[in-house]
């Protein structure tokens, strides 16, 4: 029996500041602005910026140590202020005070971004080897220094970089805000054989998980119509953001935005190609899963609105029940992970209630020290249980990163999913082990649904974004062209497992990941995270105690080395297609098991 409370929790931000209009917030915001100004003055005094290469001097060593000592607390304070503001913007985009504070913060962040670029240029001219030999403080930041030297080769002139940072809030940043505001405030009229009503787009998309096919179809049709009505400004945002990214990538000497994204994610093209090749090999297995699901639903072929349809004996998972289950299963791994999850629920780190103006989906953001905050849109289903476990995994990752200075916590998207997939898998396997066969079908199908999204659908999104970046330098793409490119990408990945007349050509509008100037190709890292996490989980099952000795240290080190180096510590070769095939083999075994369950229920 579900113990769903009458009201799902909202996250508690009062432990940071009483409110956005409080004297405490205003004082810290002013202090952060003063810190930024002081850092700029320090950079000027020390001559931090582009310069000619020269032998390392003692003054350079002292300058680096001073800069690091100033930046770490500044970045930590700025991160807390940013997360605090976003906690209001993402839960109510109509909050005009929060939007105003965000705009003010972004103005201050421009200077901080300019300082970061100046530091990169300065490091690019240093003899880093000599610096590492002379400074113990520098050795703590060896990976940062090596990466900065590489990044420095892709900088424009100081004046151009300063201008790009200054224009960002009113360029790509403004288009990003427009997208988020339009999408989060979208109210969609829908009629379910009663008085017409309007639903937020997030609530409408949640109807994709309803048991009634007619409900799912109506919601799908209403969603497509809603995106069509909003398509012109969203297409403008897409074209503007991708155009800006392409222009800046070219001016900075990157061969393409993908090359820049690979560098930012600390992987190389060999790794990406190996993973994508293994993914393409697995598409027939995912199509077997989709056909088995169609048989369970009693349809000849799935439509897009069937992808998330429930199968098996669905049961309601109340929020409190989900919390207790997650805490218990995290405890099966370690007491430290259990205590972390219990603290997150107890201290109300999670905002779980869907509501108008709130962003769709789920995410986790670091807040301060070892604290995080998690946004979810909880429904009483195992999928939401799994999502909570996933996001809490991100929080556990943040807790491990907190042992290092802020400058050493910068984790690429590829490695950001390491703990989330691991924690999600722990909870899913525990639920499977305890479930009756009919419930196993629901849990297993939920896992396969997610894997299909992360391997098949993510590939379609990658192909779409490649197309947009290849075509955008010549001209803007129309709404119809964006829809056609998305449909082609879905046909190339889902193949004949989906009804070609019932795809989702507006997925480019539904996914916020496309609308960022700083995170191009915000898709393949999810696949990397899933398959890398499954590979790690397989190693844990083979030798739990040996695995535990190195896992938390791996999580703490994701800002200290590239992905191949960190994977090598766990005896994983991510440039080998065999590693990715082995992880996909775990999913293939789930498909086999699901087909058997589907056959037993026919």
Select from 153, 216, 151, 170 the least CA-distant residue to 190.
216
Indicate the pLDDT class of residue 437, thresholds 50, 70 and 90. Answer: confident
Spatial distance between the Cα atoms of 531 and 328, rounded to a whole number of angstroms: 25
Lowest mean pLDDT among 213-217, 518-522, 579-583: 518-522
Indicate the pLDDT class of residue 349, thresholds 50, 70 and 90. Answer: very high
Q: What is the predicted pLDDT for the residue at 600?
A: 66
Indicate the pLDDT class of residue 196, thresholds 50, 70 and 90. Answer: confident
Spatial distance between the Cα atoms of 587 and 452, rounded to a whole number of angstroms: 9
Q: What is the 3-state secondary structure (H, E, C) of 531-562?
A: HHHHHHHHHHHHCHHHHHHHHHHHHHCCCCCC
Select from 561, 589, 571, 588 the least CA-distant residue to 535.
571
Indicate the pLDDT class of residue 601, thresholds 50, 70 and 90. Answer: low
**Which of 194-208, 275-289, 519-533 is predicted most confidently?**
275-289
For residue 303, pLDDT beyond 90: yes
CB-based burial label for 275 (10 Å; 0-12, 13-18, 19+): buried
Q: Phi, psi (5° rounding) for residue 371? A: -95, 145
Span 213-252, pLDDT tens digits = 999 999 999 999 999 999 999 999 999 999 999 999 999 9
Q: What is the predicted pLDDT for the residue at 6?
A: 57
CB within 8 A of 486, min separation 6: which ones? 460, 464, 504, 505, 506, 507, 508
Span 156-188, pLDDT tens digits = 999 999 999 999 999 999 999 999 999 988 999
Span 34-85, pLDDT tens digits = 999 999 999 999 999 999 999 999 999 999 999 999 999 999 999 999 999 9
Mean residue pLDDT across the chain: 94
For residue 586, pLDDT beyond 60: yes
Span 112-144, pLDDT tens digits = 999 999 999 999 999 999 999 999 999 999 999
For CA atoms 131, 132, 133, 136, give the dihedral sign.
positive
Spatial distance between the Cα atoms of 80 and 402, rounded to a whole number of angstroms: 13
Span 322-344, pLDDT tens digits = 999 999 999 999 999 999 999 99
What would the DSSP string read from start to end of 31-85? HHHHHHHHHHHHHHHHT-S--------HHHHHHHHHHHHHHHHHHHHHHHHHHHH
CB within 8 A of 220, min separation 6: which ones? 208, 303, 304, 305, 502, 504
């Amino acid at each position: 029996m579900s113990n769903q409370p009458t009201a799902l929790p909202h996250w508690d931000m009062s432990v940071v500041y009483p409110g956005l209009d409080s004297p405490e917030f205003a004082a810290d915001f002013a202090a952060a602005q003063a810190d930024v100004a002081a850092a700029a003055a320090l950079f000027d005094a020390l001559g931090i910026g582009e310069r000619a290469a020269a032998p390392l001097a003692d003054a350079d060593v002292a300058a680096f140590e001073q800069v690091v000592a100033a930046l770490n607390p500044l970045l930590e304070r700025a991160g807390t202020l940013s997360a605090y503001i976003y906690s209001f913007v993402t839960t109510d985009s109509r909050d005009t005070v929060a939007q105003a504070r965000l705009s003010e913060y972004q103005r201050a962040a421009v200077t901080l971004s300019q300082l970061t670029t100046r530091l990169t240029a300065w490091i690019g001219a240093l003899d880093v080897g000599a610096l590492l030999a002379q400074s113990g403080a520098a050795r703590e930041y060896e990976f940062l220094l090596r990466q900065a030297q590489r990044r420095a080769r892709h900088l424009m002139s100081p004046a151009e970089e300063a201008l790009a940072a200054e224009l960002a809030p009113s360029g790509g940043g403004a288009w990003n805000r427009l997208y988020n505001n339009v999408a989060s405030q979208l109210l969609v009229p829908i009629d379910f054989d009663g008085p017409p009503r309007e639903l937020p787009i997030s609530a409408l998309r949640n109807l994709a998980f309803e048991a009634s096919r007619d409900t799912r179809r109506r919601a799908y049709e209403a969603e497509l119509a809603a995106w069509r009505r909003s398509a012109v400004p969203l297409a403008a945002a897409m074209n503007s953001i991708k155009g800006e990214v392409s222009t800046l990538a070219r001016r900075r000497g990157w061969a393409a935005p993908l090359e820049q994204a690979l560098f930012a994610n600390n992987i190389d093209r060999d790794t990406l190609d190996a993973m994508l090749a293994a993914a393409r090999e697995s598409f027939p297995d995912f199509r077997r899963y989709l056909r088995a699901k169609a048989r369970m639903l009693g349809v000849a072929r799935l439509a897009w609105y069937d992808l998330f349809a429930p199968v098996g004996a669905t049961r309601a998972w109340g929020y409190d029940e989900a919390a207790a289950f997650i805490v218990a299963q995290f405890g099966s791994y370690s007491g430290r992970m259990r205590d972390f999850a219990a603290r997150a629920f107890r201290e109300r780190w999670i905002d779980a209630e869907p509501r108008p103006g709130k962003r769709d989906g789920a995410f986790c953001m670091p807040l301060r020290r070892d604290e995080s905050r998690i946004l979810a849109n909880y429904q009483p289903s195992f999928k939401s249980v799994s999502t909570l476990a996933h996001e809490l995994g991100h929080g556990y990752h943040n807790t491990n990163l907190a042992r290092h200075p802020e400058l050493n916590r910068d984790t690429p998207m590829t490695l950001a999913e390491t703990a989330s997939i691991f924690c999600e898998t722990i909870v899913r396997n525990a639920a499977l082990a305890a479930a009756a066969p009919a419930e196993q079908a629901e849990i297993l199908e939920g896992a396969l649904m997610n894997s299909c999204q992360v391997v098949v659908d993510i590939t379609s999104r990658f192909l779409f974004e490649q197309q947009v970046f290849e075509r955008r330098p010549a001209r803007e793409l129309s709404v119809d062209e964006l829809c056609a490119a998305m449909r082609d990408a879905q046909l190339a990945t889902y193949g004949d497992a989906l009804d070609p007349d019932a795809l989702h050509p507006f997925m480019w509008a539904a996914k916020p990941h496309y609308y960022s100037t700083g995170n191009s190709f915000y898709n393949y890292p999810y696949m990397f995270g899933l398959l890398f996490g499954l590979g790690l989980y397989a190693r844990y099952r083979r030798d739990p105690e040996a695995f535990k000795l190195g896992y938390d240290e791996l999580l703490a080190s994701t800002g200290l080395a590239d992905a191949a180096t960190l994977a090598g510590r766990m005896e994983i070769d991510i440039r080998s297609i065999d590693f990715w095939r082995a992880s996909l083999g775990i999913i293939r075994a789930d498909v086999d098991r699901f087909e058997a369950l589907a056959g037993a229920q026919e």
